[in-house]
Structures are given as C-alpha cells and as structure tokens.
C-alpha cells in the first residue's frame, strides 16, 4: 500500500537549567509534516496543558441572555430572514433549532443555526440530544439549496464554541457555508487525494489513510458505526486535533440519520473529554461535497481552543500566524490514548 506522507524528524533543545543549579538540560522536539493537509507542526512533549477550570461565568456576566440576539426576547427582532425564493417562512426550523442568514456574511450563502433557545450550554452538556436539532436544521437547509439547483458543490457546517475560538456570542450556534469552489484547505485535500490516486495506480487516499492508521494503533481512537475517529498526525492547533471520517461517504447527502447519531455520540464524548481536561472552547468543521466525489470523503475536524493563564494569553502566536507552523505541546499519540478511554466508557 502506498505510504500517505507522514514525516517526522527529531531535534533537541539544550540549555543550562536555572531551576536545577544550572545543570545541562535537554528537551526533545519533534518536527512533523503531513503531506495530505500540508500542516507542519512542532510536537513538544515537555509542555503542559491548562491546569485551571476556565472561568465561564466571566463570559456570562459580559454577555447575559438579556442582550443576546439568539435568545427568545430579541430573536425575532434582531435576526435576518431568508428571501421568499429560498424559504417563504423566512427561517428554517427543525425541532428546537432554527437557521437563518448570517448578518455578517463572508460568502454569498452563509447562515447561522442555533441549537435551541438555551443561552449557554457547558461543554459537558453538549449531549447528542442537545446537538441533534442544530445539525438537522443545517441538513434541511442543504437539501433546500441542492433542490434549487444553482450549482453549489461544497458545503460545510462550522462551529466556534465560546470566545477563545472566535465565537462572537456565547449562545451556541453553528455556521454553514455552501460554495461553488472549495475553500483553500478543502482544495488542498482534494488535490492530495488526486495526486495519491495518480501515484498509486488508482488507490483511494482516504480509504488507505484509515486502514494504515487503524493498523498502526497509534492515533486511531475508535469507531462509531460508519465513522472512524483519529488524532491528527500533525495537528492544526496547540492542543492537538481530532478528526472523524465517514467511511465511503462521498457526498453530504450520503449521510443517513444513523450516521448523524453516530457523529453526535462521538462528538459528545470528545466534548466531555475537553470539559474534564479544563478546555473551554473549540473550532469544528464538517466538510462535504454536495455531489459524489470519490476524492473527498465527508469528514470533520475538531481543534480544542483555550486561553493561557494567568493573563489570558492567546493560543495563537507568530509561529502559527506568520510561519504557518503549529506549536503543539500535546502529543497526538497521547491524546489518542486519553480519548480512547472516553469512547470505551458506557454512558
Ligand atoms: Zn442567548
């Protein structure tokens, strides 16, 4: 089977340690590069993770329900509606969830979906029941867009949960994008799959990636039905990255209700892990094509986000912003082991 292009190199940092009478100290650094994603990272096993429970009350005080445009009192007054050609009722509603146009769009079609009228849902309460309607209303919207036949090829469901990840409101909400062209990162993934197919005599990159990762038993977290959960080899965030692939699903519309349940079950376990480990925030994207494309399997990526105390330092820095490399003090293989315990535990 053709290799999938994971590279790593070891290097060592050296200094005389002020905390040990200036004795020589060596620290291992692993430089990683993933040819599929193009993500370069530095894995630093000596760094620590957030030790204190995050202060979510401070956010609630600054952004109470009384001034929230997604809470019932202001919702109808302050949220945009669709034009009648898309939906005469103005907003998509599924159960408790509601989807409407983004008031600050960054594409021709950019929407926001709230899960319910609930203003704040802590990480440990993001259960399948709490999330089901929110993802379902995005699916209903994508069906409507496909039905309109305007040539959209790519769709994604995205989530900035809480302000450290870029969330502008604490009221939990998803954002969708549909587009005719892929985003920069998705274009890279499709090109990687095409290159792999050409170089391997027709093999599928995503199928082989999952087979190789499952056999290696280093970063393969678990399976929930049709979904394989992995810790990314070279993560896109300082606290690592969790990926989930819907096996053999080559279009958003291949996903069944059962597949959504499998995803919600896995997500709730990842979020509970984040809660227990003092994270307060994450970015999530679920990427898909809207017509079948064998070079792109439907999949999602989750990057935990956090503030570094005591002064609320950002987890983004010049190395990521301006050199396009990630400093990651969480070892992906360790993250995998820790998450496995959450996937084997019974509810
Ligand atoms: Zn609210």
What pLDDT does 223 receive?
A: 96
Query: Cα 58 to chain center, whole Å?
Result: 25
The tokens 């259960």 sit on which residue? Answer: 127
Q: Is residue 47 part of a domain?
A: no
Please tell me the distance between residue 126's alpha carbon and the centre of ligand 1 in angstroms: 16
Question: If we measure between CA atoms, which residue out of 38, 54, 27 comes closest to residue 239?
Answer: 54
Distance, in Å, from the CA atom of 134 to the CA atom of 140, rounded to the nearest integer, reads: 10
Please tell me the distance between residue 140's alpha carbon and the centre of ligand 1 in angstroms: 23
Three-state DSSP class for residue 172: coil
Q: Is residue 29 part of a domain?
A: no
Please tell me the distance between residue 57's alpha carbon and the centre of ligand 1 in angstroms: 14
What pLDDT does 346 receive?
A: 59
Distance, in Å, from the CA atom of 199 to the CA atom of 2, rounded to the nearest integer, reads: 8
Which CATH number do you get for residue 62? Answer: 3.30.428.10
Question: How many CA atoms lie within 13 Å of 148's alpha carbon, on the beta-carbon side?
Answer: 16
The tokens 């709230």 sit on which residue? Answer: 114
What pLDDT does 193 receive?
A: 98
Please tell me the distance between residue 134's alpha carbon and the centre of ligand 1 in angstroms: 15
pLDDT greater than 90 at residue 277: yes
Three-state DSSP class for residue 313: strand
Q: Is residue 236 part of a domain?
A: yes
Question: Over pLDDT 70: what percentage of the chain?
Answer: 98
Q: Is residue 181 part of a domain?
A: yes
Please tell me the distance between residue 185's alpha carbon and the centre of ligand 1 in angstroms: 31
Please tell me the distance between residue 303's alpha carbon and the centre of ligand 1 in angstroms: 24
Residues 6+ apart with CB under 8 A from 72: 117
Taking CA 222 as the corner, what is the angle to CA 340 and CA 134, rounded to the nearest 5 degrees?
100
What pLDDT does 294 receive?
A: 94
DSSP 54: P
Q: Is residue 166 part of a domain?
A: yes
Q: Are 142 and 277 in contact (CB under 8 A)?
A: no
pLDDT greater than 70 at residue 78: yes
pLDDT greater than 90 at residue 232: yes
Taking CA 17 as the corner, what is the angle to CA 13 and CA 21, rounded to the nearest 5 degrees?
155
Average pLDDT over residues 161-175: 96
DSSP 80: -
Q: Please tell me the total count of domains within the chain.
A: 1
What pLDDT does 311 receive?
A: 86
pLDDT greater than 80 at residue 52: no
Q: Is residue 84 part of a domain?
A: yes
Q: Per residue in 91-125, pLDDT tens?
A: 999 999 999 999 999 888 999 999 999 999 999 99
Question: What tokens were used for 254?
Answer: 């291949």
Q: Per residue in 252-262, pLDDT tens?
A: 999 999 999 99
In which element (H, E) is residue 323 found? helix 318-323
Please tell me the distance between residue 264's alpha carbon and the centre of ligand 1 in angstroms: 22
Please tell me the distance between residue 76's alpha carbon and the centre of ligand 1 in angstroms: 12
| Residue 119, domain extent | 56-325+334-344
Distance, in Å, from the CA atom of 265 to the CA atom of 43, rounded to the nearest integer, reads: 29
Average pLDDT over residues 274-286: 95
Distance, in Å, from the CA atom of 204 to the CA atom of 294, rounded to the nearest integer, reads: 8
Q: Is residue 38 part of a domain?
A: no
DSSP 70: T
Please tell me the distance between residue 340's alpha carbon and the centre of ligand 1 in angstroms: 33
Please tell me the distance between residue 162's alpha carbon and the centre of ligand 1 in angstroms: 12
pLDDT greater than 70 at residue 69: yes
Please tell me the distance between residue 241's alpha carbon and the centre of ligand 1 in angstroms: 28
What pLDDT does 47 receive?
A: 60
What pLDDT does 165 receive?
A: 95
pLDDT band at 229 (very low <50, low <70, confident <90, very high): very high
Q: Per residue in 37-46, pLDDT tens?
A: 999 999 998 7
Q: Per residue in 236-249, pLDDT tens?
A: 999 999 999 999 99
Please tell me the distance between residue 101's alpha carbon and the centre of ligand 1 in angstroms: 17
Please tell me the distance between residue 167's alpha carbon and the centre of ligand 1 in angstroms: 13
pLDDT band at 227 (very low <50, low <70, confident <90, very high): very high
| 74 or 108, greater pLDDT | 74
Average pLDDT over residues 130-140: 98
Please tell me the distance between residue 169's alpha carbon and the centre of ligand 1 in angstroms: 8
In which element (H, E) is residue 319 found? helix 318-323
Q: What is the mean pLDDT of the chain?
A: 95
The tokens 């200094």 sit on which residue? Answer: 15
The tokens 């802590």 sit on which residue? Answer: 122
pLDDT band at 24 (very low <50, low <70, confident <90, very high): very high
Question: If we measure between CA atoms, which residue out of 233, 251, 215 comes closest to residue 301?
Answer: 233
pLDDT band at 308 (very low <50, low <70, confident <90, very high): confident
Please tell me the distance between residue 116's alpha carbon and the centre of ligand 1 in angstroms: 9
Q: Is residue 265 part of a domain?
A: yes
């Amino acid at each position: 089977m053709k290799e999938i292009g994971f590279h790593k190199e070891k290097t060592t940092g050296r200094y005389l340690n002020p905390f040990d009478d200036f004795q020589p100290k060596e620290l291992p650094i692993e430089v990683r590069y993933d040819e599929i994603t193009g993500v370069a990272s530095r894995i630093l096993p000596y760094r620590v993770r957030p030790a204190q429970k995050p202060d979510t009350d401070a956010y609630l005080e600054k952004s109470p329900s009384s001034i929230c445009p997604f809470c019932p009192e202001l919702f109808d007054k302050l949220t945009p509606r669709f034009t009648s050609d898309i939906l005469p009722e103005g907003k998509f509603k599924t159960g408790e969830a509601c989807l409407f146009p983004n008031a600050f769009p960054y594409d021709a079609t950019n929407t926001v979906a709230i899960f319910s009228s609930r203003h704040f849902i802590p990480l440990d309460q993001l259960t399948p029941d709490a999330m089901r309607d929110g993802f379902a209303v995005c699916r209903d919207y994508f069906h409507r867009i496909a039905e309109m036949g305007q040539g959209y090829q790519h769709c994604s469901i995205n989530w900035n949960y809480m302000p450290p990840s870029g969330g502008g409101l604490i009221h939990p909400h998803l954002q969708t994008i549909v587009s005719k062209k892929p985003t920069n990162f998705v274009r890279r993934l499709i090109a990687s799959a095409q290159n792999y197919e050409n170089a391997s005599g027709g093999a599928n990159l995503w199928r082989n990636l999952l087979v190789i990762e499952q056999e290696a038993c280093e970063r393969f977290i678990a399976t929930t039905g049709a979904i394989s959960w992995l810790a990314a080899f070279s993560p896109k965030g300082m606290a690592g990255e969790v990926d989930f692939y819907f096996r053999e699903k080559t279009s958003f519309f291949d996903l069944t209700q059962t597949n959504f349940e499998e995803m919600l079950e896995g997500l709730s376990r990842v979020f509970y892990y984040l809660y227990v480990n003092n994270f307060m925030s994450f970015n999530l994207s679920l990427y898909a094509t809207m017509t079948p494309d064998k070079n792109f399997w439907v999949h999602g990526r989750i990057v935990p986000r956090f503030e570094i105390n005591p002064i609320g330092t950002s987890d983004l820095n010049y190395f990521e912003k301006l050199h396009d490399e990630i400093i990651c003090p969480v070892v992906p293989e360790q993250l995998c082991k820790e998450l496995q315990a959450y996937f084997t535990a019974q509810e």
